[in-house]
Amino acid sequence: MRPPSLQTKSVSDAFNQQGWEHEVMEGREVISTVFEAHHTRVQLFAQTFTQLNALSVVGETSMPMDELKIPYLLELLHRANKQMNLGGLEYDLDRQRVVFRVTNIFEKEKYDADIISTMVHCTIAEVDRITPYCAIVQQTADDLIEDLNIERLLLREDLIPPVPGDEDQL
């Protein structure tokens, strides 16, 4: 078995600096971990693409959805993506999971730990932020789903989790 690349080692080192428990998946350039966020549990994967010097961080959470409601969920994710500058939300229809993915191309083989940490924080925050909106779609009664206004739903700020550190100021 080949040891992890310098790129994957730099990602693992960045996780260690933050005190994040993780596992390097044997035989793959992938790191796996789980974070407990405000609204949900985020399964996180960090995959290095050594030939490109790229890192893709993917966070996902389970979101089973009735077939009737999937178009509303997809509209929700599409509208949320229009407001993003980095990364994007997806819905994995086969596994029924909401997914956020962000990728960065680095100049050097040893990736910058601050950028890695930012990518991880961004991924966790975006999965956590969208989860309560998805849950509303999921829990809306079938006979009321056509009345659900996704545009207005996304304006609800009461569903946004607090920014870490800000809850002390309330």
Run means of pLDDT, 10 residues per run, the chain, 170 residues = 88 97 94 96 97 96 97 98 94 98 94 96 96 97 96 92 60
End-to-end CA gap in the chain: 52
Give the C-alpha distances (Å, rounded to integers) separating 118 from 86, 104, 127.
11, 11, 14
The angle at the Cα of 40, spanning 39 to 45, to the nearest 5 degrees, equals: 135
Interatomic CA distance for residues 143 and 130, integer angstroms: 23
Full set of structural domains in the chain with CATH: 6-164 (3.30.1460.10)
pLDDT (0 to 100) of residue 170 = 45
pLDDT (0 to 100) of residue 126 = 96
